[in-house]
Amino acid sequence: MTPTRYAFVKASWHADIVDRALDGFYQLIPPEQVDVFDVPGAFEMPLLSRDLAATGRYGAVVAAAFVVDGGIYRHEFVAQAVVDGLMRAGMDTGVPVLSVSLTPHQYQETEHHKQIYRAHFVEKGREAAKAALTIGKTRAALAA
């Protein structure tokens, strides 16, 4: 039987934006079914996601981050490493590990951009919840 609890891992960088994904997730999956874990940044998500998935307690693990060009390193490399690591965590454990890790080409710390991405993260959180529920239903049907 597929567990009906979900793990939600979220990066603390840009929390005012990233946390909106959890708001969207809660629109379809009640908070009582979700364990929330904070990590410093996106790069720390794959390891914790793998560890959470390996417990067998969760029907899916969702990881949310906002990776932007900070001018210090190539954010595309970080984003690729994160997405690859999340995919590997799911494949290694057999538990869906879903990404709400977004990397915009253009982001500026303006209120206009913040509003756009906050709204986008709510939608992406809903999409992650739909994916988690759909995958769980499909896997349950396969097991029957």
User: How many whole angstroms separate alpha carbon 116 and alpha carbon 37?
Assistant: 25
Q: What are phi and psi of 62, to 5 degrees?
A: -115, 135
Q: What is the pLDDT of residue 2?
A: 63
Higher pLDDT pick, 44 / 3: 44
Q: What is the mean pLDDT of the chain?
A: 89
* First-to-final CA distance of the chain: 9
Exposure class string for 1-28: b at 16+ Cβ within 10 A, else e: ebeeebbbbbbebbeebbbbbbebbbee
Catalogue the active-site residues.
Answer: 74
What are the E-state strand segments in the chain? 6-11, 34-39, 60-66, 97-102
State the binding site for 5-amino-6-(D-ribitylamino)uracil: 13, 42-44, 66-68, 99
Beta bridge partners of 65: 101
Residue 117's pLDDT band, with cuts at 50, 70 and 90, is confident
Q: What is the pLDDT of residue 104?
A: 65
User: How many whole angstroms separate alpha carbon 141 and alpha carbon 65?
Assistant: 31
Q: Tens digits of per-residue pLDDT, 34-91?
A: 999 999 999 999 999 999 999 999 999 999 998 776 666 666 777 788 899 999 999 9
By mean pLDDT, which of 2-6, 98-102, 127-131, 135-139 is the weakest? Answer: 2-6
Q: What is the pLDDT of residue 46?
A: 96
Q: What is the pLDDT of residue 1?
A: 55
State the binding site for (2S)-2-hydroxy-3-oxobutyl phosphate: 113
